[in-house]
A and B are shown apart, each in its own frame.
Chain A
C-alpha cells in the first residue's frame, strides 16, 4: 500500500517594498452620513436581494391580450401595464423615493428577454440552454456568499441564480409566464436565426468552452451607456406627451409610417409612468395618514406633492430635478435587463437647479449633502436580475452606475463645479458602491478639485477612478467623426458602465430665460457585440490543436502544425481569434436585431437624442451616434506573458521544448488545481507529489519576462497585440453597419474565465484567476515599482481602444496625510500625462482583506475596487476575492 501524500501548502504575499508589520492599518478617513441616511443604510445592510413577479405578470398578460397589434405599440402597452401594477413602497426616512420593484433591493425576471436560466436544472428548457452553451458560465461562477445575496432557499423563499430571493407562492406563476415566452423571447427567437450563421456550431463550442462569457442580445441588451435626462427636465412628462402628440399628427399617413407607431408608443408608455408615479404619491399620502410624528407626516405630504407635480410638470427645484432624474433612471432599468446605466455628469446636469436654489436660500450645503447621500442609497439599492454567470461571473452583483465629475464644458473650459465637490464629499460620508465615480482628468481642472478627488480615493472606496479626458475625446473623435462628432460635442462625453467611453451631447436646458448647455449621453448601449473573449483560453486551444482540453471537445478546426516557431503560434492564435470574433459578431448581430424587432427600447429611446425628433427608436439608429458595438477581451496580460514565456524559454533560450512545456502545463506544474483547493490566486497554492519534477520548468515560466516591469522584451509583444487588436476589430460590422472597436475591461470575468483555463505558459496555475483589467500586471509580477508599470502600460496608444484599465493597490500608510495626498496626486498625474486612459486604486492593507475573508460578518461595509467598479467585499465571489488579495500591494511610491 503506497503512502498517502501530504499536500504541501505554500503561502506568499505580493508586496513592492517592505511588507507591513504590526497591526492591520485601517483606512485613513472615516466619515459618516447624516443620521437619517445612516438609518436607511442600516436597513440596506439587513436587506436581501428580492425578486417579484408583479411586473412580468402584468406585462405578459397585456402582451398576450394585444396579439396582432403593431409590435412597438404592443410593447408600450405591456410596459404601461407593468408600471401601473407595481405595488408602491415608500420606506421610512426616504427623501428620494421609488424603486424598481416593491422591495428595497427589488428586481424581477424579464422572460420576454430570456426565460431558461431561472428554470430548475431539471427543467427541459434549462437543459436545452446548457446544451447550447448559453449557461456554461453559470456552471463555473462562484457567487458571493454574504451580504444581501440569497444563496440558498429557506422557509417560504426560493433562491434564484444564487442571489435573488423569490417568495415560494410566486414560483408557479413565474414558471407559467416563462413558458408562455417559450419560442417567443429574444433569447429563443435569436437562437432560431443565429443558427443560420455559417459556422454556428463553432459558436456553440466557444460558449461551452467559456471562451466567450455570454451573449448580449438577450442577457443585457442595454447599458454600458450614459443616460440623458434633458427631455424630462426641459419639458416634464406632459410636455413630452404634447410634443409626441404633435409629431404623431404630422406622421399619420405620411412616410415613414413607423414614426406614427413610435409616437403612439411613446404616449402610451408615458401614461404608464404617470400612473406609476401617481400610485407612489397616493402611497405617500397613506403613509402620512398613518404617521404620528408631525415632521415625518409633513415629509410624506411633501413627497406626495412632489410626485403629483412631477407626474405632469417639469421640476422647479434641485430636489424636484433629482427626484425626476431618479424616476427616469429606474424607469429605463425596468424596461430591460440592464447593467451599467450611468447617470453621467449629473453634477453638471443639475447644477443650474442647485445654484438657483442656493442663491435663493432654498437649500444649503448640509441639506444638499443629505440629498446626495440619499441618492447614493437609491443607486446602491439597484439590482439587476440576470443569470448567475452574468450577475455573478461578470457583474459581481454590481450594476455600474457611473457618475462622472470634471471634464470640460462646451467651450473647452473646466466643467468642475461646487455641486461636484459635494458629490465627492457625499461619496465619502456615505461610502456605498453606487453610484461609482469617475473623475475626467484634464490639465484645466483646478487643483482643489483634484485634491478633493484624491481625498475621496484615499478613503479606500475605490472611487473616483481617474480617467484621461483628452484620451477619451481622441477616441470619440476618431470613431464618431463620420456621424458628425466635432471637438465641441466630444467634450460632452462621459463613462458608461464601468469604463466604456460613451458619446454625449450638449442639450439646451432653459431656466428663467437663460440657456444652460447640459451634457448627456447620445449613443445607445455599448459593450454589446462580442462579449469577453478569453485570450488565454484561445491560446490554450492553439497549443492543443483546437481542442478544449478541459472538456475534450473540439472548438476550432485542427491546425495540425508543429508549433515550431513563435511566429507560427502567433499566426494560429490570430486565426482562431478571428474565427471567434467573426462568428460572435454575426450571431450577436442577429440577437440584437431580434431584440429591436420584438422588444425595442422605449423609455431610453425617448431620452436619447435624437430619437424623439426622428421618430425612431435606438434599434433603428434613432440616436445621434450609433457606432457602439465592440469586441471585449479578457486576460490580455496573461496572454502576453504567456507568449513572452514561450518565445523566451522555447525559442530564444531553448531552455525547454514545446512538448515539455505542454506536459508541465497538463500536470499543472506540480500543483493541485485551484478548483480543488478553492484558492484562486498564486498566493495560496498546494504542491502535489510531482512538484519537484516540474519545479524547474515552472520557475523558468515564472521568471520569463513579465508585463509591468518596463521590459521591452515583453512590452513589445504587448504593443504588437494592442496594435493588431484595435485594427482587427474594425474589420467587423455591427447590425447598424458600423465598424466595431476594441474594448478592454475585465469586470469580473477574469474569475470564471480563469477557472476553466488550464495552467498557462506564464506560470499561472490551472483555474487561477487572470490578471484583472487590461493593463494591470498579473498579481506579484510587477517588481519594479509603479513608474515601471506606467511605462509598460503606456507602450501603445490608449486612444485606439474604447478604454484601458489599470488597477493598483496601495497601502494606506504610503499616502497618509496632506503630504501623502500631494504625492498621490503626482503619481496619478504622472500616469495620465504619459497617455494612460484610466487608473483606479484600492487603498487597503491586504491583511485586512484576508481577515475579512475569514471573518466576513465583521466586514459587512468593507468595499473594494474590482475592475471598474466598487463592491462590498462580502458580495464578491471567492475567485475575485482571492485575486484582489493577491494584487501587488505598493508599500512605497
Chain B
C-alpha cells in the first residue's frame, strides 16, 4: 500500500503530503510504513459496484471511482 492510501496521510498537494502521526514529509506514491492504517474509500464500500478498473457505480445509480475518500459519506458501508 502507498502513503496516499493511509488514513494518516495529510495531502499537501497531488505529489506529497505529511504523516499526521510522525509529521514527516512523505510522497503520495511511495510505499507506506508499518504503522499504515487503511483510509476508507469507495472501493471498500458494499454499495460500490465495480464497472472497470477505474470506474464503478454507487448504489447502482451514480458513477463513482474506487479511490474516492469515503470518510464523510453517510452511505458508506464497509465491505465484509
**Which residue numbers of A lie inside 8 Å of B, CB to CB?**
43, 46-51, 53-54, 57, 61, 64, 84-87, 89, 91-92, 102-105, 150, 155-157, 165-167, 169-170, 172-173, 176-177, 279, 286-287, 290
| Secondary structure dominating the interface of B | loop
Near A by CB (< 8 A), chain B positions 1-55 give: 8, 10-16, 18, 20-21, 23, 28-29, 54-55
Whole-angstrom CA separation of A165 from B13 in the bound complex: 8
Q: Which residue of A lies closest to B52 (CB)?
A: A172
A92 contacts B14, CB within 8 Å? Answer: no
Given the complex of chains A and B, what is the CA–CA distance between A48 and B16 in angstroms? Answer: 9
Nearest A residue (CB) for B58:
A61
How many angstroms between the C-alpha atoms of A287 and B12 in the bound complex? Answer: 15
A-B CB contact pairs (8 Å), 24 listed: A43-B12, A49-B13, A51-B14, A57-B64, A64-B62, A85-B73, A87-B72, A89-B10, A89-B11, A102-B11, A103-B11, A104-B12, A105-B13, A157-B14, A157-B15, A165-B14, A167-B28, A169-B65, A172-B54, A173-B64, A173-B68, A176-B63, A290-B20, A290-B21
Asked if residues A91 and B72 are in contact (CB atoms below 8 Å), the reply is: no
Please, which residues of chain A bring their CB within 8 A of the CB of B67?
A: 167, 169-170
The minimal Cβ–Cβ distance linking B65 to chain A, given in whole angstroms, is 4
Known A156-B28, A172-B65, A290-B21; judge A165-B15 contact (CB<8 A): yes
With both beta carbons as reference points, the residue of chain A lying nearest to B74 in the complex is identified as: A84
Name the residue of chain A whose CB is nearest to the CB of B27. A155
Please report the number of residue pairs spanning A and B whose Cβ atoms sit closer than 8 angstroms.
80
- For the complex formed, measure the closest distance between the CB of A87 and the CB atoms of chain B, giving whole angstroms: 5
| Given the contacts A57-B68, A173-B63, A287-B20, A155 and B29 also touching, CB distance less than 8 Å | yes
Given A85-B72, A287-B20: A173 touches B14 (CB 8 Å cut-off): no
A92 contacts B11, C-beta separation under 8 Å: no
Instruction: List the 4 closest pairs (A to B, CB-CB), nearest first.
Output: A165-B14, A173-B65, A50-B13, A50-B14
Beta-carbon contact of B14 and A150 below 8 Å: yes
Whether B13 pairs with A47 at a CB distance below 8 angstroms is yes
Nearest CB in chain B to that of A156: its residue: B29
Smallest CB separation, A284 vs chain B (Å): 12
Cβ-neighbour of B15 out of A48, A54, A169 (below 8 A)? A48
> Could you tell me the distance in whole angstroms from the C-beta of A118 to the nearest C-beta in chain B?
15
Q: Is the CB of B12 within 8 A of A92?
A: no
B55 touches A172 (CB 8 A): yes
> Residue of A at shortest CB range from B66?
A169
Min Cβ gap B67→A in Å is: 5
Shortest distance between the CB of A571 and any CB in chain B (Å): 54
Q: Quote the shortest CB–CB distance from A332 to chain B (angstroms).
A: 22
Which of B14, B18, B63, B69 is the most central at the interface, judged by chain A CB atoms within 10 Å of its CB?
B14
| Besides A92-B18, A103-B12, 9 other A-B contacts (C-beta < 8 A) | A46-B16, A47-B12, A87-B71, A91-B12, A104-B12, A105-B13, A157-B14, A170-B67, A173-B65
**Bound complex: CA of A156 vs CA of B30, how far in Å?**
11
Contact in complex: A104, B63 (CB < 8 Å):
no
Interface size class of B (residues with CB under 8 A): 20 to 34
Q: How far is the CB of B6 from chain A (nearest CB, A)?
A: 13
Complex Cα–Cα for A61 and B12 (A): 26
Q: How far is the CA of A770 from the CA of B15 in the complex (A)?
A: 37
User: Are A54 and B11 closer than 8 Å at their CB atoms?
Assistant: no
CA A54 to CA B67, docked complex, whole Å: 11
Distance from A438 Cβ to chain B, minimum over Cβ atoms (Å): 31
- A43: nearest chain-B partner, CB-CB: B12
B residues less than 8 Å from A50 (CB atoms): 11, 13-14
Q: Which residue of chain A lies nearest to B73 when distances are taken between CB atoms in the complex? A: A85
Distance, CA A122 to CA B4, complexed state (A): 31
Which residues of chain A come closer than 8 Å to B12, judged between CB atoms?
43, 46-47, 91, 103-104
Interchain CB contact (< 8 A) of B23 among A46, A53, A92, A169: A92
Residues of chain A within 8 A (CB-CB) of B23 are: 92
Which residues of the partner chain B approach A48 to less than 8 Å between Cβ atoms?
Answer: 13-15
Closest to A60 in B: B62
Question: For the complex, what is the distance from the CA of A156 to the CA of B2, rounded to whole Å?
Answer: 12
Contact at B14–A166, with CB atoms within 8 Å?
yes
Chain A min CB distance to B72 (Å):
5
Q: Please measure, in the bound complex, the distance between the C-alpha atom of A150 and the C-alpha atom of B28, giving whole angstroms.
A: 16
The answer on a CB contact under 8 Å between A54 and B13 is no
CA distance A717 to B16 in the complex (A): 56
Q: Which residues on A sit within 8 Å (CB–CB) of B21?
A: 290
Q: Which residue of B lies closest to A158 (CB)?
A: B14
Q: How far is the CA of A48 from the CA of B54 in the complex (A)?
A: 25
Q: How far is the CA of A166 from the CA of B13 in the complex (A)?
A: 9
A169 neighbours in B (Cβ, 8 Å) = 54, 65-67
- Whether the pair B14, A167 counts as a contact (CB closer than 8 A) is yes
> Which residue on chain A has the smallest CB distance to residue B7?
A286
Chain B neighbourhood of A166, CB < 8 A = 14
A91 to B67, CA, bound (A): 22
Q: How far is the CA of A97 from the CA of B73 in the complex (A)?
A: 22
Assembly CA distance A156 to B68 (angstroms): 15
Do the beta carbons of B62 and A61 come within 8 Å of each other?
yes
Which residue of A54, A84, A155 is within 8 Å of B69 (Cβ)? Answer: A54
Contact of A91 among B15, B18, B28, B66 (CB under 8 A): B18
- The answer to whether A103 touches B18, judged by C-beta atoms less than 8 angstroms apart, is no
Task: Give Cα A46 to B26, complex, Å.
Answer: 13
Q: Once the chains bind, are A170 and B65 in contact (CB under 8 Å)?
A: yes
Q: How far is the CA of A290 from the CA of B18 in the complex (A)?
A: 13
**Bound form: Cα–Cα A279–B65 in Å:** 23
For B66, the chain A residues whose CB sits under 8 A away are 169
A102-B13 Cα distance, complex, nearest whole Å: 8
State the CA gap A177–B68 with chains docked (Å): 14
Q: Cβ of A172: which chain B residues have Cβ within 8 Å of it? A: 54-55, 65
A104 CA to B66 CA in the complex, in Å? 24
CB distance from A675 to the nearest CB of B (A): 32
